[in-house]
Structure 1
Amino acid sequence: MQQMSKGANIDLSGLTAATGPLTVALSWIDPSGEGEADVSVLLVNADGKVGSDADFVFYNQPATADESVRLLGKAPTATGSEDRILVDLTALRPEVERVVVAASRYREATFGALDDLRLAVSDGSGEVLLVFDIKDADTETAFIFGELYRRGDGWKFRAVGQGYESGLAGLATDFGINVDDGDEDEPGEAPASQGPTSGTDQPEPVAATPVEDERPKRVRTAKKKTTLPKAAKVDLAEHSSWRHARLFSVTGLRNDQEREVRATATLLSVMAQVPEFGRRLTARFNAPAGTVQTFAEASFKHGDGKVRPDGVLRVARAGRIWTALIETKTGGNPLKPEQVQAYLEVAARNGYEAVITLSNDLALGSEHPLKVDKRLLRKVALRHVSWAEVAHEADMLCHHDGVANPVHAWLLSELLHYLRQDGAGCQGFRDMGSAWVPVRNAVTAGTLRLGDRRAMQVAESWEKLIRQLCLRLSGGTGTGVAPVLRRRRDGDASVRRLQTVTSLVETGRMSAEIRMPTAGGPVLLEADLRTGQIETTVEIPAADRARPLTRVQWLLRQLNEAPPELRVEALTPGHKTGPCELLANLTSEPGILVPGDGKQITTFRLTLPSGMGTKRGTEETGFVRSIDNAMDRFHQDVLQVLKLDTAAVV
């Protein structure tokens, strides 16, 4: 892996012999948990301009027409969130000279408020080729991370690291984007003439992804899409025992083998029939854009016998065929190293590009959950995807991003229904592992100590659980839900897990902060193993009202139907605590929350306690399910009913 410095460039051909598209990943840590950045890509010709608005790739236009560049979207990671971009250099039009990768912030947020800004480029096998860390970000609202550019018959990468304060409109115009010209500067933007704040002889800036009022009006070129409403249709059943007929049924599944076969066939058939869904998943594996065909239970010779992967995925583009073998596990069944290694050998012998494993386990970071002979990975990429990630992509397309064909939207809804059935074995991470019960008992007894290896295993399972929770909430809300890290050192996995273990030893608690864009602030999720309670907490700004009592009444009107056990705390400037009472008691006596010192209320802290399951697995009394239920309850009964005052005190 090559560590790049600002302004440096490198020939990509000298870094890898792997073929296929590259993955460019932008990542950062958001200590505030209140804002994000959006990535964008511009395809620039020799004149320094885009060929047309179609060469501007951003949230509402996530791919070029030829699929040479595609945004893979934000994904929760153990270190916060990551935005990935697939770039197929061989598919770019000849006139494209540069592929410029940038990002922008909004609501006056700056890149200096983010920690650990990083760009990483990986080859088709998943190996990280280069990393560029940006350490001098300050007041910039838009940032060019880097660019891929032609040099002769090959491609090079330049680490740009150039920030701009001129905002979206000026940057977009500089690159020929057809922006709607208003009379006033867009919110949070300086005049376009301010130009760059850093860099010397660097390329011109690139327009970053537009957000809300800042998004250019003429670049909304995405075709009309179809999504399915979440509200249930009128039920015509004569009796409550009747069940709607489903395309993919879990009826008749008798053992793990049958679950794996049906789950694989169900997924692969939908991938082949719904182009948008198939492309989202194949792009994760660095497959080129093209015609997708899928096959089940193909047989291959291996040694003196045969092996039979669960599926084969083939993508055809421009006379070339990209192929991957698929190994599937359902329920709590683990992947088997010897089985996966045999498939890697078969793939290498047949010239296939990848082996894809699919199970309920979640990979943390870029490492595959299995340890295999690394020599086999020189020719074949080993990729992993969780059933939770599959459901997330289907949910986003089915209910938020949309697909071109209404029938395809229905197919995705049927796939989602199948994945969520207990009998399918595809619900995602549902088991805290064998270390959970001994650690829980040790916490209760007060005997847990630092250095206990089982506690580190529980800390890793907690990370997986939080990451899956973020995926599910993202799919449900259509927003980028991700963990919040407050300190730079939190980006190190061993440091994070040690912090969790330390908290378990000292307080009996595990906690995580989750950024939900619609919540008004980060949501704190805490599991107290000593009391058997889960607490979900959010702090929201108080409404801009003249008197403290009217601010309390403003809040109580919105929480009229919230659970009576909800704790409400009023905070004033300079104080971490304040008057606190249960919602049940505030209905008749709202004045309880008015501070006695006469100071104005600036923030309300809302906390909802829930019962904690103690078992390790998928039972109703299990820990994983209780975390899901607690967060769903808080989101539905508290967060969704709150309408923040646009003039709130901050």
Structure 2
Amino acid sequence: MQQMSKGANIDLSSLTAATGPLTVALSWIDPSGEGEADVSVLLAGSDGKVGSDGDFVFYNQPTTADESVRLLGKSPTATGSEDRILVDLGALRPDVQRVVIAASRYAGATFGALDELCLTISDSTGAELLAFPIKEADRETAFIFGELYRRDDSWKFRAVGQGYASGLAGLAADFGISVDDSEEEQPEPAPAQPAEPPPTDGPDAIADHAAPEVSPTGGKRPQRVRTAKKKVTAPKAAKVSLAEHPSWQHARLFPVTGLRNDQEREARATATLLAVMAQVPEFGRRLTARFNAPAGTIQTFAEASFKHGDGKVRPDGVVRVARAGRIWTALIETKTGGNPLKADQVEAYLQVAARHGYETVITLSNDLALSNEHPLQVDKRLLRKVALRHLSWAEVAHEADMLCHHDGVANPVHAWLLSELLHYLRQDNAGCQGFRDMGAAWVPVRNAITAGTLRLGDRRAMQVAESWEKLIRQLCLRLSGQTGLTIAPVLRKRRDGDASVRRLQTVTSLVETGRMSAEIRIPNAGGPVLLEADLRTGQIETTVEIPAAARARSLTRVQWLLRQLDQAPPELRIEALTAGHNTGPCDLLKNLIAEPGLLVPDDGGQITSFRLTLASSMGTKRGIEETGFVRSIDLAMDRFYQEILLVLKPDTTQ
């Protein structure tokens, strides 16, 4: 992979012979847990300006009309957040000379507050071609990471690294776009056609329905960028049931009844997913774009048979995408439940794909890949012509959730299809619930912690640390899909971006304290949520620290908090903190309701923040059963989010 420095440029054809779309990824670590960045792409002509408002791709207009550029959305990673963009250079209009990759922050946040800012570009096989780490970000609120530009008959990349203190408006103005920073009140959507929800985190609203501005050259240029068209999401409120008895179950499009073995589960799960991908264009394109497929007509097939050696092989599915006379093809290998992928099976599909000129083999299972490396080890020689990519059922559910309940689709029937798919994926018998097993090392490590015999260097402890990372990443994916927010892990130190260092820290914590912990950024939560699992006491603790209200006395600050928590669990632990102190008066909510003064510091110090902690029992088994560790983590975070975070409101008097 080519490492780029600021100002450098390189011909992309010198890095890869692969054709097809590129994936541009912007990544960062948010050590504060207080905010994200929003990616945007500008398509500029030879004059350095955009040709129309359709050439500005941003969070409310995530694709160009010809789908040559598409935002794939933010995803939590093991190290922070990643925002990906699909760029099909071959599909761009001839007048587009530059594809500018930028991002902006909001509410006064700067790029200097983010760690490990980096742009990477991958080719259509998934191979990373180049990386441009940005080390000079400071007070900029908008940033141009780099640009793809035409040079004769080829495309080159330039590492720009230019910041704007004037934010998105200043950046856009350089390309002939006028951004209205004022917020406009939007009309209520009709019940049958719910509008796409406004962004919960992002730059100020960009105005709607603006008149075009005439440029000095006589052409029309947009004065303001229009927001995206309204889309349909699945209704949040369930319809009134006409069932005569609670035992009556609604008929489902994709039932889980009658599944008797793993083979039947895999066949039905594959057919269900592929059918919805073909029928819901937005969903199919989101998934295929992950693997650098072009934006085109999608057709899917189940259990196609191919000759291989003296016999035949039958992948679980085939996906084909047609665009401009070219067909992109991927073979699909599916596993459900805890069934592992098999190297010999996948290698056979790679050989078949190479022989037929297919681009990709995609494996789909409940395992999560924490990096660009595939979770299965195969013969590297087979990857010279065919890409091997992996997808988790948790990532499938995340994309369906975002489209079904937040981003919306164009057709109400398609929203219903996505809701049916989600219902299927969440059924226990379907075997598609994502990462649900801490692995064979879990019980021995837990027992070693109880006995005090766990030591550094224990390979089983490192396996548990890796499983913990997968569990946290899946937790962030699930919560993001449910809330529509960008929820991601928070890393406090630069070295935390190194997987081996990060896992060694988890192992060290297990050896010394018997605890595993993770910080999770949830927008509007007041601060990062600390999730800790104590294997010695069998407790899970979820903690958040929130600013105190601006009141004259500490007692009224306590009362302000207690009024919001009147329905919270009585065992909630509340600690009052003053400036410069990490500890303070602490008691349970049930005691504070009767006597709020228990939280007032004896030294008369002013309370600046409150630390709220909710403890729950930790499951001991490795899997998803009622006494399982994975389920107990999910339940603890869900309870904390629903009963604590959602009821807390920021102080509006400040």
TM-score (norm 2): 0.94
- Is 1:9–1:157's contact at 8 Å kept on the other side of the alignment? yes
2:25 aligned partner: 25
SS in 1 for 2:561: helix
Q: How far does residue 518 in structure 1 lie from its aligned partner after superposition?
A: 2.4
1:126 aligned partner: 126
SS in 2 for 1:39: strand
1:326 aligned partner: 332
The residue type equivalent to 2:132 in the other structure is F
Give the 3 Å change call, closer, same or farther, for CA 473–405 of structure 1 in structure 2. Answer: same
- Indicate yes or no: 2:438 matched with 1:428: no
- Aligned counterparts, 1:180-199, within 5 A: 180=180
- Indicate yes or no: 2:296 matched with 1:290: yes
- Aligned counterparts, 1:88-167, within 5 A: 88-167=88-167
The residue type equivalent to 1:593 in the other structure is L
1:574 aligned partner: 580
Q: Deviations over 1:388-409 (max 9, x none)?
A: 0000000000000000100100
Q: Distance in 2 between matches of 1:623 and 1:230?
A: 30
2:176 aligned partner: 176
SS in 2 for 1:251: coil
The residue type equivalent to 1:70 in the other structure is R
The partner residue of 1:455 within 439, 455, 461 is 461
- Is 1:53–1:178's contact at 8 Å kept on the other side of the alignment? no
2:189 aligned partner: none
1:2 aligned partner: 2
Q: Distance in 1 between matches of 2:64 and 2:524?
A: 30
1:73 aligned partner: 73
- Indicate yes or no: 2:225 matched with 1:219: yes
Unaligned runs of 5+ in 1: 184-208
Q: Deviations over 1:396-438 (max 9, x none)?
A: 0000000010010000000000000000000000000000000
- Is 1:46–1:95's contact at 8 Å kept on the other side of the alignment? yes
Q: How far does residue 212 in structure 1 lie from its aligned partner after superposition?
A: 4.7
SS in 1 for 2:102: strand
- Is 1:58–1:210's contact at 8 Å kept on the other side of the alignment? no
1:196 aligned partner: none
The residue type equivalent to 2:162 in the other structure is Q
- Is 2:182–2:204's contact at 8 Å kept on the other side of the alignment? no
Q: Distance in 2 between matches of 1:614 and 1:63?
A: 46
Q: Distance in 2 between matches of 1:290 and 1:210?
A: 30
- Indicate yes or no: 2:281 matched with 1:275: yes
Q: Distance in 2 between matches of 1:216 and 1:2?
A: 40
Q: Distance in 2 between matches of 1:114 and 1:623?
A: 33
Q: Distance in 2 between matches of 1:378 and 1:639?
A: 49
The residue type equivalent to 1:272 in the other structure is A
The partner residue of 1:388 within 381, 394, 414 is 394
- Aligned counterparts, 1:174-573, within 5 A: 174-180=174-180, 211-213=202-204, 215-217=206-208, 218-573=224-579
The residue type equivalent to 2:23 in the other structure is T
Q: How far does residue 210 in structure 1 lie from its aligned partner after superposition?
A: 8.9
Q: Deviations over 1:49-88 (max 9, x none)?
A: 1011111111111111111011111111111111111100
Q: Distance in 1 between matches of 2:653 and 2:403?
A: 34
Q: Distance in 1 between matches of 2:280 and 2:59?
A: 20
2:221 aligned partner: none
- Indicate yes or no: 2:594 matched with 1:603: no
TM-score (norm 1): 0.95
Q: Distance in 2 between matches of 1:94 and 1:80?
A: 37
State percent identity of aligned pairs: 85
- Is 2:68–2:87's contact at 8 Å kept on the other side of the alignment? yes
SS in 2 for 1:595: coil
**Count of residues paired in the alignment:** 623
Q: Distance in 1 between matches of 2:253 and 2:625?
A: 27
- Is 1:22–1:88's contact at 8 Å kept on the other side of the alignment? yes
Q: Deviations over 1:17-51 (max 9, x none)?
A: 11110011111111111111111100011111101
- Is 1:359–1:428's contact at 8 Å kept on the other side of the alignment? yes
The partner residue of 1:626 within 607, 632, 648 is 632
Q: Distance in 2 between matches of 1:173 and 1:242?
A: 59
Q: Distance in 2 between matches of 1:500 and 1:509?
A: 8
Deviating more after overlay: 136-145 vs 462-471: 136-145
Give the 3 Å change call, closer, same or farther, for CA 294–223 of structure 1 in structure 2. Answer: same
Q: How far does residue 216 in structure 1 lie from its aligned partner after superposition?
A: 4.9
Q: How far does residue 512 in structure 1 lie from its aligned partner after superposition?
A: 0.2
- Is 2:564–2:648's contact at 8 Å kept on the other side of the alignment? yes
Q: Distance in 1 between matches of 2:645 and 2:181?
A: 37
Q: Distance in 1 between matches of 2:362 and 2:524?
A: 35
Q: Distance in 2 between matches of 1:181 and 1:227?
A: 27
The partner residue of 1:590 within 596, 601, 612 is 596
Q: How far does residue 181 in structure 1 lie from its aligned partner after superposition?
A: 7.1
The residue type equivalent to 2:248 in the other structure is W
Q: How far does residue 214 in structure 1 lie from its aligned partner after superposition?
A: 5.4
Q: Distance in 2 between matches of 1:494 and 1:569?
A: 34
The residue type equivalent to 2:488 in the other structure is A
Q: Distance in 2 between matches of 1:505 and 1:619?
A: 26
Q: Distance in 1 between matches of 2:75 and 2:169?
A: 27
Q: How far does residue 178 in structure 1 lie from its aligned partner after superposition?
A: 3.8
The residue type equivalent to 1:634 in the other structure is F
- Is 1:168–1:214's contact at 8 Å kept on the other side of the alignment? no
Q: How far does residue 231 in structure 1 lie from its aligned partner after superposition?
A: 2.5
Q: How far does residue 645 in structure 1 lie from its aligned partner after superposition?
A: 1.2
Q: Deviations over 1:429-463 (max 9, x none)?
A: 00000000000000111110000000000000000
2:61 aligned partner: 61
Q: Distance in 1 between matches of 2:39 and 2:96?
A: 19
SS in 2 for 1:641: coil
Q: Deviations over 1:557-584 (max 9, x none)?
A: 1101100000011111000011111001
SS in 1 for 2:147: strand
